[in-house]
Structure 1
Amino acid sequence: MKKIIVLLLFFITTVTKSQNELGSWNIINVNMKIDSKINVFTEAQLRSLSFYNQFHYYEFKAGVSYKINPNFSVTSGIGSYNTYSEGGDFELPMKNKEIRSWFQINMKNPLQFITFEHRYRAEQRFTSNGYRNRFRYRIGATMPLNGKKIVPKSFYLSVWDELFFTDKEPYFERNRLFVGGGYEFNKKIAFQMGYIYQFDYKINDESGRDFLNIALLYNFDLTKKEEKEFTPATTD
């Protein structure tokens, strides 16, 4: 029954649309635990404005996270972000070519059946249209469906909303909402799928769209110690 509920949620949130065409938002995320405090990660994304057609965006990024305590960590990263014109696959001219670095703080609030997360990020954006600062706040919640924790062979729900701001007018740039869920195969691999709604306000580096989001998440423990829990999450 729970599997059916999850599939219905995916179906409702990704195909019941009346105005915009559904794009695709694809992610591969690899997280490597170096020791009890330090994690290294890398992530690649590929997006299209139509359903696996009109690919217009890709990014690669990597970084390191330091866990101060189980519910508080800091992260720093850098990446390449590339946006093309609309109308075809990687249509020229490019709208934006960017190198971006960032620093962020993550705070978790685990309850009995649900974990809330707050993420605060400051970005330094070196774009083809000039330098820009950006500030992001994301609040999210993750809940297992067939147990009290996300463990191997667990289904889970995930919801988050993120606000984007800058230090120049217009100060509010974007709102991004995700609704979906996933399945953790084991303590190394998880699959996640859901719906992303992105609303842009007077910015020109990417058009606002509705997306089907699919992510493969890999988690590797290089310390060769058994992880107590693997909570699936993407970097961006």
Structure 2
Amino acid sequence: MKILKTLALSIFTLGTTLSYAQKSDLGAWYMYFGNNKISKKLNWHNEIQYRNFDAGGDLEQLLIRTGIGYDLTENNNNILLGYGFILSKPYVNGEKTENIEHRIFQQYITKQKFGRFNIQHRYRLEERFLEDDFRMRFRYLLGFNIPINNKEMLPKTFYGSVYNEIFLHFDSPVFDRNRVYGALGYVINKNMRIEAGYMNQIQENKNRGQIQIGFYNNIPFTKN
């Protein structure tokens, strides 16, 4: 509990510091990810991301995703069909605007382990229904979780997390964006962990930094 209190205090301090960064190009994303077993082979993915231009008061995007996945092999090689609702509030010529996107996506995740390195490959295809447009996009993520004070991702383990994700359009221009992420995480128990880190995104030849705080919940809804 002492470790959790220290981590919570660090996150609160980080958020307070960010509150003075509104005029900078540093944003903050607060994220929840659920991946819950509903049968031996099926899982329910549920996700909420609250993305801000600053620490908390200037909403950039609200993203809600859900889907049903199927394990081709036990706890690995998962295919998933999902839906996303995205509310965006960008600035256009200095004025706050609003648009809504509905998104269907299909993804395949496979995992590998080499020593302490827990590796994940995620391939995702998106069909994006915008208010006045339709687009398709492919995403590939390569991620690593590396335990620090234990050899495995056991409860009470601190770990480092890094990933790179590239986004590609099906039309011109092909390149959409690239994200590079690094974080420190803590395994609370076998079904919950928390991360706090930094992501840099390159889009339209512009770099934008994001502080990210994420909570992961894998509590199963079945005893099997």
TM range (shorter): 0.7 to 0.9
Q: In the alignment, which of 183, 197, 216 is matched to residue 180 of structure 1?
A: 183
Partner secondary structure for residue 223 of structure 2: coil
Separation in structure 2 between the aligned mates of residue 197 and residue 81 of structure 1, nearest angstrom = 21
Q: Percent identity?
A: 31
Instruction: Give the structure-2-normalised TM-score.
Output: 0.83
Partner secondary structure for residue 121 of structure 1: strand
**Root-mean-square deviation over aligned CA pairs:** 2.5
Note if contact 2:91-2:97 (Cα within 8 Å) is conserved in structure 1.
Answer: no
> Could you say if the C-alpha distance between residues 145 and 27 of structure 1 is closer, same or farther in structure 2, counting changes exceeding 3 Å?
same
Correspondence 1:209 to 2:213: no
Separation in structure 2 between the aligned mates of residue 21 and residue 169 of structure 1, nearest angstrom = 27
- Which residue does the alignment assign to 1:76? 81
- Which residue does the alignment assign to 1:231? none
Separation in structure 1 between the aligned mates of residue 171 and residue 136 of structure 2, nearest angstrom = 9
- Which residue does the alignment assign to 1:234? none
Alpha-carbon shift at residue 20 of structure 1 (Å)? 4.9
Alpha-carbon shift at residue 42 of structure 1 (Å)? 0.8
Separation in structure 1 between the aligned mates of residue 139 and residue 62 of structure 2, nearest angstrom = 20
Note if contact 1:24-1:50 (Cα within 8 Å) is conserved in structure 2.
Answer: yes
Partner secondary structure for residue 185 of structure 1: strand
- Which residue does the alignment assign to 1:218? 217
- Which residue does the alignment assign to 2:44? 40
Separation in structure 2 between the aligned mates of residue 176 and residue 114 of structure 1, nearest angstrom = 20
- Which residue does the alignment assign to 2:56? 52
Aligned residues: 206
Separation in structure 1 between the aligned mates of residue 25 and residue 203 of structure 2, nearest angstrom = 16
Q: Unaligned regions of 5+ residues in structure 1, if any?
A: 226-236
Correspondence 1:189 to 2:192: yes
Structure ranking higher on relative contact order (CA contacts 8 Å, 6+ apart): 1
Separation in structure 1 between the aligned mates of residue 89 and residue 130 of structure 2, nearest angstrom = 13
Separation in structure 2 between the aligned mates of residue 179 and residue 77 of structure 1, nearest angstrom = 26
Correspondence 1:164 to 2:167: yes
Aligned pairs for 1:23-172 (under 5 A) are 23-70=27-74, 71-86=76-91, 92-94=96-98, 96-172=99-175
Instruction: Give the structure-1-normalised TM-score.
Output: 0.79
Alpha-carbon shift at residue 92 of structure 1 (Å)? 4.1
Note if contact 2:161-2:183 (Cα within 8 Å) is conserved in structure 1.
Answer: yes
Separation in structure 2 between the aligned mates of residue 74 and residue 171 of structure 1, nearest angstrom = 25
Runs of 4+ in 1 over 2 A off after TM superposition: none
